[in-house]
Amino acid sequence: MSHFDAVLFDLDGTLIDTNRLIVTSFQHVFRTRLGLEMAPEEIYRFFGEPLRTTMTRFAPDRADELTEAYREYNLSVHDRLVRRFPGVNDAVAALRQAGVRLGVVTSKYTPLARRGLSVCGLEAHFPVVVGEDQTERHKPEPDPALLALELLGVQPGPRVLMVGDSPLDLRCGRAAGCRTAAVGWALDRAALAAGEPDFWLERPSDLVALVLSGAVSA
């Protein structure tokens, strides 16, 4: 019997490497629409929040326009820039084979989230993908995690693990009554540590050990 009945994953920066894709897309929109040059480090702090929320920070009266421009450009370069994180696909496959229920909870638009999973060969493992278009409230509120669990047929509680690379993921999972795990391949490890995850996963194989046997230290 596994230590957890279900695992909910963030997508970008957790399951698939979209760091370059996201930075490039933001830089393109900020440069062409707002005349702003942004360094990658300035963009990292917006990772994990809904796209329109970020655009509203920069131009509240043009948020819809900027969001659409981002999505259009992002889609045009998506398949070329998305990468796999080494070991993640094997870890996810091992969990699915063991009968653990798996879902994705992302601040990304659902169709694009599914596109990323497909490009990286992960789509078959995730029958449930909850994007920002499916709930009124988003991370760090518990709503998307609770919806994912409802769709998976799993009760919220300590036998559910939320895995992510952002403090927003940890807060969402905790608010939904789940245990939380932070990935060691996150860009901003300091911010993630401040979110006080229950567990750290230094490599994808740690996820399998934790979920199936509880073998990773808190």
Q: Which of 5, 10, 17, 198 is catalytic?
A: 10
Q: How many CB atoms lie within 10 A of CB 86?
A: 11
From CA 216, how far away is CA 8, in angstroms rounded? 17
From CA 198, how far away is CA 180, in angstroms rounded? 5
Tokens 């409802």 map to which residue?
150
Instruction: With both helix axes pointing from N to C terminus, report the angle between 63-81 and 51-58 in degrees, rounded to the nearest 10.
Output: 130
AA identity, residue 15: L
Classified as helix, coil or strand, 86 is coil
Going by C-alpha positions, the residue among 173, 193, 195, 199 that lies closest to residue 6 is: 173
Query: Does residue 10 carry a catalytic annotation?
Result: yes
Angle, alpha carbons 163-76-61 (nearest 5°)? 80
From CA 197, how far away is CA 167, in angstroms rounded? 9
From CA 128, how far away is CA 195, in angstroms rounded? 25
| Residue positions annotated with a catalytic role | 10
